[in-house]
Amino acid sequence: MFKKKIFKTIFKYAIPNVISMWIFTLYTMIDGVFISRFVGSTALAGVNLALPLINFIFSISIMIGVGSSTLIAIKFGENRYDDGNKIFTLATFLNLFLGIFISVIILLNIDRVINILGANKSQEVYRYVKEYLTVIVFFSVFYMSGYAFEIYIKIDGKPSYPAICVLVGGLTNLFLDYVFVVIFHYGVTGAAIATGISQVASCTMLLLYITLKAKYVKFMKLNKINFEKISKIFKTGFSEFLTEVSSGILILIYNLVILKKIGVLGVSIFGTVSYITSFITMTMIGFSQGIQPVISYYLGKKNYKNLKEILKISIIFLGVLGIFCFVFVSLFSEYIGKIFFREQDMILYVKRVLKIYSLSYLLIGINIFVSAYFTAIKKVIYSALITFPRGILFNSILLLILPNIFGNKVIWIVSFLSEVLTIFICIYLLKKIKREGILNWYEKKKFKGKCSFKSSPSCINNLQKFRGER
């Protein structure tokens, strides 16, 4: 009965978030399909070169959203709603400020940014990168704020509503992509405009819910900017920032290595692989981040039994899901290639690459969840010890060394090798918190001794009261 209740709680919050992540991923995937089929493979390569920067912007939003929501959920769990809402208000204005600031910096240095992303003016792909970024950056504020609003509404007890908003945005993006790319032939610029407008639509719906219908999450007047709270938000969400930004840096590293070793054609292929991988990864991230507020809430309530059950159930579920994703993508790799390309040689190339790259899907969910779990229980350092090696360190080292020894084909198995190395870190850290009894330290602190039949009535009453809280 207990496990059934936990199981239902997990999926009540996780599934809507997964759906939201699916739709969000489909934004760029839909852009990729329309661009590859109606503009060309070089244009697709240009959009893929731009993705690391978009990912960086989104990563900041995740850091603020996850960091603040974790703190808010803990405050709500302690019935300190005013304190939680002050954090919410501060985080919202922080997203707004950083969104505008980042947009201005990028636009003022657009050529330099594109060079960092791997393209130069002598290449045809350069113009496509510039066209896409120049438009999409204008909508950074909506990218950043929208994701955070989704999490806050989940804390308010409405996990399904954000999924509806994101769905509306996804359908808007699909319709406008067809209008701007296929009908009006606006190319890459049209795809960027479609994505931007759809983000505005979903973000507006989310904000309206918070201001008009939210029960617990409210804007509050701030007398001053609390830099200590800002620091706590960044610190708490930093590991999730690393998780997301690492995927962007990973794409950047892959783009640079592939561009050098294989060329623009290889970047186009990797773009397709990235879309599929992002869909899988976002599923895992969506599940993990969807239940983070629940984990943090239980932490605030000191309900450690539930925390342990969530950990066990989630790892089992994500392990099974990883196997399913690997089998599915391997079996339908050729059909996936046909979605993006018309040329038979490109389709077969995608098929070969996906059969190898999809091995990483077996472990990716477990690694992501364990990192998110540590963040939610305020073990941020442990989380960072997973995210940094997984996303940047292992992949960078392997990409720089292995192709020079075994040839270019080994590029596509690097991601799997990185996930294998990361899983050993996860196992070590999970064993470490088990040995240290981190989830039970409050109990140990509060009751150093044991109550026996000879103990005082007050001791027994206090112990019963404490256990009742759990």
The model's pLDDT over 62-95, given as tens digits with 9 standing for 90+, comes to 899 988 988 898 888 888 889 999 999 999 999 9
* Closest by CA position to 415, among listed 263, 280, 287: 280
Count the domains in the chain: 1
Task: Confirm whether 271 is domain-assigned.
Answer: yes
* Distance from C-alpha of 447 to C-alpha of 440, rounded to nearest angstrom: 11
| 70-79, 308-317, 441-450: segment of lowest average pLDDT | 441-450
pLDDT above 90 as % of the chain: 35
| 90-99, 173-182, 190-199, 460-469: segment of lowest average pLDDT | 460-469
Task: Confirm whether 396 is domain-assigned.
Answer: yes
Higher-pLDDT residue of 61 and 463 is 61
Q: Residue 461: what pLDDT? A: 43
User: In which band, very low, low, confident or very high, does the pLDDT at 452 lie, cut at 50, 70 and 90?
Assistant: very low
* pTM summary value: 0.70
Any idea what DSSP says for residue 438?
A: G
Which residue has 């407008």 as its token pair?
197
Candidate ranges 52-66, 126-140, 276-290; pick with highest mean pLDDT: 126-140
Task: Confirm whether 452 is domain-assigned.
Answer: no
Any idea what DSSP says for residue 413?
A: G
Q: Residue 246: what pLDDT? A: 76
Phi, then psi, of 109 in degrees rounded to 5? -125, 35
* Distance from C-alpha of 407 to C-alpha of 133, rounded to nearest angstrom: 33
Task: Confirm whether 469 is domain-assigned.
Answer: no
Task: Confirm whether 172 is domain-assigned.
Answer: yes
* Distance from C-alpha of 109 to C-alpha of 185, rounded to nearest angstrom: 28
* Distance from C-alpha of 73 to C-alpha of 295, rounded to nearest angstrom: 9
User: In which band, very low, low, confident or very high, does the pLDDT at 245 lie, cut at 50, 70 and 90?
Assistant: confident
Average pLDDT taken over every residue of the chain: 84
Higher-pLDDT residue of 281 and 17 is 281
Residue 193 pLDDT > 80: yes
Q: State the sign of the Cα–Cα–Cα–Cα dihedral 56, 57, 60, 61.
A: negative
Start-end of H helices in 78-216: 81-108, 110-117, 125-136, 140-155, 160-177, 187-212
User: In which band, very low, low, confident or very high, does the pLDDT at 443 lie, cut at 50, 70 and 90?
Assistant: very low
Task: Confirm whether 314 is domain-assigned.
Answer: yes
DSSP for 331-343, written as a single string: HTHHHHHHHH--S
Task: Confirm whether 464 is domain-assigned.
Answer: no
Contact predicate 243/286, CB 8 Å: no
Q: Residue 330: what pLDDT? A: 92
Q: Residue 455: what pLDDT? A: 40
Task: Confirm whether 200 is domain-assigned.
Answer: yes
User: In which band, very low, low, confident or very high, does the pLDDT at 462 lie, cut at 50, 70 and 90?
Assistant: very low
Range of the domain at 116: 2-436
Residue 123 pLDDT > 80: yes
User: In which band, very low, low, confident or very high, does the pLDDT at 456 lie, cut at 50, 70 and 90?
Assistant: very low
